[in-house]
């Protein structure tokens, strides 16, 4: 692209909305709109903040599949070899299912997978009175404490067994989110992981309305509070 050449409205939509499930890296954005890398990185994080704020207005409804997963959260000190020192970050993955189809998604980074944390997360992201399906992890007994009908399934790791696909939509979300994080960003640090998962869930939950993407995101950005590069790096 020639330096200073304005982008077409269609191209701007493709960039700003990120309807492409792969997302857009700061480096790619900086080249497309001819700005510095720091500026592009900050712009994308401001958009992610708007996505987070917009999704905070909604809770999941339907049959809710819930499971914990672990994502790579950067490389710790001493990780001088590939794969060494990689931190695994626990994430609670929640998938709303209606008529056997996955509709909306939420993912929350956890400090610990314990009763208090899981209970607070479900209370925030899942509407009252929804049927919830989990695996047999003991911590998920808090589902009943919140008033949800709870189905705990002992999920078999062996393909072809009756319970193998009991939480298939959660598994699909985890697989797609990992592909997004590793394919576009080649992994992210723990401090920013939640922001990237928010981006993934925002775009995923609106995949059926790509034509409305620009207007929806523009509204979200106009209502979101400001953030600065210093705040993001702090």
**pLDDT (tens digit per residue) in 124-136:** 999 999 999 999 8
What is the pTM (predicted TM-score) of this model?
A: 0.83
**pLDDT band at residue 34 under the 50/70/90 scheme:** confident
Alpha carbons 141 and 139: distance in angstroms, whole number? 5
Tell me what pLDDT residue 206 has.
85
Inter-residue contact 108 to 91 (CB < 8 Å): yes
**pLDDT (tens digit per residue) in 142-157:** 999 999 999 998 776 6
**CB proximity list for 4: less than 8 A, separation 6 or greater:** 34
Mean model confidence pLDDT for the chain: 82
**pLDDT (tens digit per residue) in 181-226:** 998 888 888 999 999 999 999 988 888 776 666 777 777 787 787 7
Give the pLDDT mean for 42-68. Answer: 92
Residue 50: closest CA among 233, 213, 234, 230: 213
Alpha carbons 67 and 75: distance in angstroms, whole number? 25
All domains of the chain in start order, with CATH:
9-57+197-233 (no CATH), 63-191 (3.30.420)
Give the pLDDT mean for 97-111. Answer: 94
Residue 91: closest CA among 105, 108, 75, 106: 108
Inter-residue contact 40 to 30 (CB < 8 Å): yes
Alpha carbons 121 and 138: distance in angstroms, whole number? 16
> How far apart, in Å, do the first and last CA atoms of the chain sit?
33
């Amino acid at each position: 692209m020639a330096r200073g050449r304005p982008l077409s409205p269609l191209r701007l939509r493709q960039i700003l909305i990120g309807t492409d499930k792969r997302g857009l890296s700061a480096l790619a954005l900086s080249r497309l709109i001819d700005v510095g890398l720091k500026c592009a990185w900050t712009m994308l994080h401001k958009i992610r903040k708007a996505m987070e704020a917009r999704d905070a207005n909604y809770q999941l409804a339907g049959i809710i599949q819930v499971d914990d997963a672990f994502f790579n959260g950067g490389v710790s000190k001493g990780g001088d070899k590939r794969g060494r020192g990689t931190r695994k970050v626990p994430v609670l993955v929640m998938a709303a299912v209606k008529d056997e189809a996955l509709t909306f998604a939420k993912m929350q980074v956890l400090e610990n997978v314990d009763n208090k944390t899981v209970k607070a997360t479900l209370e925030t992201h899942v509407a009252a009175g929804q049927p919830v399906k989990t695996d047999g992890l003991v911590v998920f007994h808090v589902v009943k404490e919140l008033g949800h009908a709870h189905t705990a399934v002992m999920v078999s790791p062996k393909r072809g067994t009756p319970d193998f696909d009991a939480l298939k939509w959660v598994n699909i979300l985890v697989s797609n989110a990992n592909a997004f994080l590793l394919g576009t960003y080649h992994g992210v640090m723990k401090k920013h992981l939640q922001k990237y998962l928010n981006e993934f869930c925002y775009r995923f939950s609106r995949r059926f309305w790509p034509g409305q993407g620009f207007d929806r995101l523009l509204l979200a950005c106009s209502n979101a509070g400001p953030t600065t590069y210093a705040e993001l790096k702090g």
